[in-house]
Amino acid sequence: MSDKNKPNISPEHLKYLRKVKRKKQIIFVTQIAILVLFFAFWELAAKVGLIDPFISSQPSRIIKTILDLYRNGELFNHVIVTCMETALGFLFGTLIGILIAVILWWSEFLEKVLEPYLVVLNSLPKIALGPIFIVWIGAGPMAIVVIAMTISIVVTILEVLNGFLGVDNDKIKLVKTFGASKIQILTKVVLPSSLPVMVNALKVSVGLSWVGVIVGEFLVSKAGLGYLIVYGGQVFQLDLVMASVIILAAAAFLMYRMVAWFERLVVKRK
């Protein structure tokens, strides 16, 4: 529907909408221009000798490497392995984190008891636990998923719990005066009011899940983008390393955009 056919919209509002749309277009074009200029400068600098293409690679060599992976039938296998591990780690970490946050909100006693432990776990470099999980679970994809889940779960618990505790107390008192049970307070007041916080926790967990998976693949993996990065570094194939990093960045961006789309969906429904 064109702007002219939209009902009940004043000319001033139409002008404002066009201005907002134009601003978004300018931002998008600028982002694309920066990306294109960066790769163009990278390619040119490698060709004229400002940088060593063996050390830093260059876009044309990266594209060739990606095409070679595709022709060999390896590209999608590695991408799918990493994406599946990340999705599982993200899903489990988010769901379990929100569930634990609900339990801690429900029981003030448990929240007070476990708060210092959560703070310590959040400060602990959880990557150091990777070798322990590998020994406990075994050198396989499940260990990588657990590492990703462990890195994201504590942050999710703290973020969501702070959102629960930050809900307007007057709203809770109001529904209590109408005889609402604790489960009704949770489902009718706390969870709806905390949706923005939970979505923000999802955004944080996306990045942490990718970190956990790549670290896990560094430690133990025979497939995946992390495996390609380690392998490329070991055999001094820097083109393979940079190609894997570029693919990883694109996959992480797409997953983040999916979370952003979910955020718009939730906010719109709310």
CATH number of domain containing 106: 1.10.3720.10
Residue 41 belongs to some domain of the structure: yes
Do 140 and 78 share a structural domain?
Answer: yes
Q: What is the pLDDT of residue 190?
A: 81
**Position 235 pLDDT exceeds 60:** yes
Q: Using one digit for the tens of pLDDT, what is the confidence trace for 177-208? A: 777 777 888 888 888 887 888 888 888 888 88
SS3 track for the chain? CCHHHCCCCCHHHHHHHHHHHHHHHHHHHHHHHHHHHHHHHHHHHHHHCCCCHHHHCCHHHHHHHHHHHHHCCCHHHHHHHHHHHHHHHHHHHHHHHHHHHHHHHHCHHHHHHHHHHHHHHHHCCHHHHHHHHHHHHCCCHHHHHHHHHHHHHHHHHHHHHHHHHCCCHHHHHHHHHCCCCHHHHHHHHHHHHCHHHHHHHHHHHHHHHHHHHHHHHHHCCCCCHHHHHHHHHHCCCHHHHHHHHHHHHHHHHHHHHHHHHHHHHHHHHC
Percent of the chain at pLDDT exceeding 70: 95
Do 120 and 227 share a structural domain?
Answer: yes
Do 133 and 28 share a structural domain?
Answer: no
What is the number of domains present in the chain? 2
pLDDT range class, residue 2, cuts 50, 70, 90:
very low
Q: What is the pLDDT of residue 1?
A: 46
Do 262 and 130 share a structural domain?
Answer: yes
Do 92 and 141 share a structural domain?
Answer: yes
Do 87 and 42 share a structural domain?
Answer: no
Average pLDDT over residues 78-102: 88
Do 237 and 191 share a structural domain?
Answer: yes
Do 70 and 24 share a structural domain?
Answer: no
The domain of 126 spans 57-266
Residue 78 belongs to some domain of the structure: yes
What is the model's pTM? 0.76
Residue 1 belongs to some domain of the structure: no
Q: What is the pLDDT of residue 37?
A: 92
